[in-house]
Amino acid sequence: MITPDEPHWQSELAGSYTDPRALLARLGIPAEGLAAPGTASPFPMRVPESFVRRMRAGDPLDPLLLQVLHSPLEDLATPGYGPDPVGDLPARATASALHKYHGRILVIATGACAIHCRYCFRRHFPYGDFALRQSGLEDVLAYLARHPDIDEVILSGGDPLSLSDERLEPLLEALGALPQIRRLRLHTRLPVVLGQRVTAGLLNLLRRVEAAVVVVIHANHPNELDDGIRAHLRRLGDAAALVLNQSVLLRRVNDNTDALAELSQRLFDAGVMPYYLHQLDPVAGAAHFEVDDATALDIMEGLRACLPGYLVPRLVRERPGAPFKIPLEGAMRD
């Protein structure tokens, strides 16, 4: 039920497409041969109209559509692709926090996302078991007290901005006020998926956080950043110390220099700096998105040849157990 005083972003989320046939009908694309699972799938399709509006009608290869539409290829088992590709489970520090890297922990603030990206590395994540509850926050605070070397907390998920401002506020206040915490980071795709999430209330909330707020958004293709989204991102930038973007390198979506160069240009126009370009995490169901390393390095060379250095993202791969995300450039090519 949508109540009249519910912020617009929440009603739009509630009305997301969850039926692939309805989405394809909306875009005027025939659904024949679509072997999509029903909405009972553990990772069903989910995409709000605001994101669909940026897809090209009639184009089954639209780069935004390919990110969200279930492919029959997802059901093929691929060697090397599993349920926990980056070793999240062994890195569990508290019921809701992962501690992999020096000085920062990542808190699973919620399991919910505004969009279900088919390549998501946490698509099999046991959120029911992890997502933060009240006692969970106390455990995180106790863990931080035992680890005074941690100076940054990352709220992730899921998508932390899928929580209402009322639920975010106590989290941001409690964590941001700890003297040891210098930076509070949000990993979120919501400002890109549904720009209206950047409400005046959210901006006020971010401005009140005592620690410096860093927001890392997630956009993969320049078509995700139309004029409206760029305006929302600029407002976000006014309230945060830094806004960065991470992308995943995805076959047929953004595996070419032109798309990624234009993405960097549009990010900069919106006050956002490119951060990471991730090589795909080998999560079961996503193998058809893989781009081989040689192609990835060629694309990076293309980006360096046409962009200022500060607009070139860092190509990285996460390896379970490694102390940081591993840069691919500079490694030996064979």
Ligand X SMILES: *Cc1c(COP(=O)(O)O)cnc(C)c1O
Single-letter amino acid code for the residue at 61: L
* Cα distances (angstroms) measured from residue 70 to each of 34, 238, 286, 324: 9, 36, 10, 31
Q: Which does residue 317 touch among ligand SF4, ligand X, none (CB within 5 to 8 A, set by kind)?
A: none
Of 15 and 126, the one with the shorter C-beta distance to ligand X is 126
Using the CB atoms, write b or e for 235-266: b if 16+ within 10 Å: bbbebbebbbbbbbbbbebbbebebbbebbbb
Distance from the Cα of residue 88 to its chain's centroid: 16
- Scanning 18-26, 68-76, 114-122, 166-174 for contacts with ligand SF4 by CB under 6 A, the matching segment is 114-122
Of 70 and 325, the one with the shorter C-beta distance to ligand X is 325
The Cα–Cα gap between 153 and 83 comes to 25
- Helices and strands of the chain, counted as H and E runs: 12, 10
Q: How many positions of this chain bind ligand SF4 (CB under 6 A)? A: 11
Residue that the structure tokens 């559509």 belong to: 65
Residue 117 found at the interface with ligand SF4 (CB under 6 A): yes
Residues near ligand X, by CB under 6 A: 91, 98, 100-101, 104, 106, 154, 324-325
Residue 43 Cβ vs ligand SF4, minimum distance, rounded to whole Å: 8
Please tell me what DSSP assigns to residue 296.
H
The half-sphere exposure of 126 on its side-chain side, counting CA atoms within 13 A, is 10
x-marked contacts with ligand SF4 along 295-334 as a string, rule CB under 6 A: ----------------------------------------
Residue 159 found at the interface with ligand SF4 (CB under 6 A): yes
Q: Which does residue 118 touch among ligand X, ligand SF4, none (CB within 5 to 8 A, set by kind)?
A: none
Q: Note the residues at the interface with ligand SF4 (CB under 6 A).
A: 113, 115-117, 120, 122, 157-159, 189, 218
